[in-house]
Amino acid sequence: MGNVQVSTRLDDSIRDAATEVLEREGLDLPTLFKIVATQTASYRQIPILFNQTFNRKSHRRIEAEHRISELIKPQLKNAKCIDPNNPNDIAEMLDGWET
């Protein structure tokens, strides 16, 4: 199977904004174009739901998770790991709770 080169023209601002988003996901524009073309050919339809296809966390979600972990880190210093299969751990965790 031979390869062909495909060229496209984009406004600089669109290219730059798209590149910024794709780099956060570890991709570049040529790779995205190959993914879209391959999926379009394979599924015989335009892949509209790109986020579900990649199944990766967004940059914002990763940042939010990092900020949350930084906020709770001081509280975790005294935390104890609970084994949900250990009855003693469950009893200790529930000690003092009203049922």
22 versus 43: which is more confidently predicted?
Answer: 22
The rounded percent of the chain whose pLDDT value lies above 70 is 83
Q: Is the pLDDT score of 20 beyond 90?
A: yes
pLDDT of residue 93: 78
Which of 12-26, 46-60, 79-93 has the least mean pLDDT? 46-60
Residue-number span of the structural domain to which 33 is assigned: 12-94
Q: Which long-range contacts (CB under 8 A, 24 or more apart) does 22-29 make?
A: 24/59, 25/54, 25/56, 25/59
Number of compact structural domains in the chain: 1
- Domain contains 47: yes
Name the residue among 36, 8, 39 with its Cα closest to residue 22: 36
- Domain contains 59: yes
- Domain contains 78: yes
Tokens representing residue 23 in the block: 């780099």
- Domain contains 6: no
For 51-89, the pLDDT digits (tens) are 554 546 667 777 887 788 788 777 767 777 777 788 887
pTM given for the model = 0.46
Residue 55 and residue 58: Cα distance in Å, rounded? 9
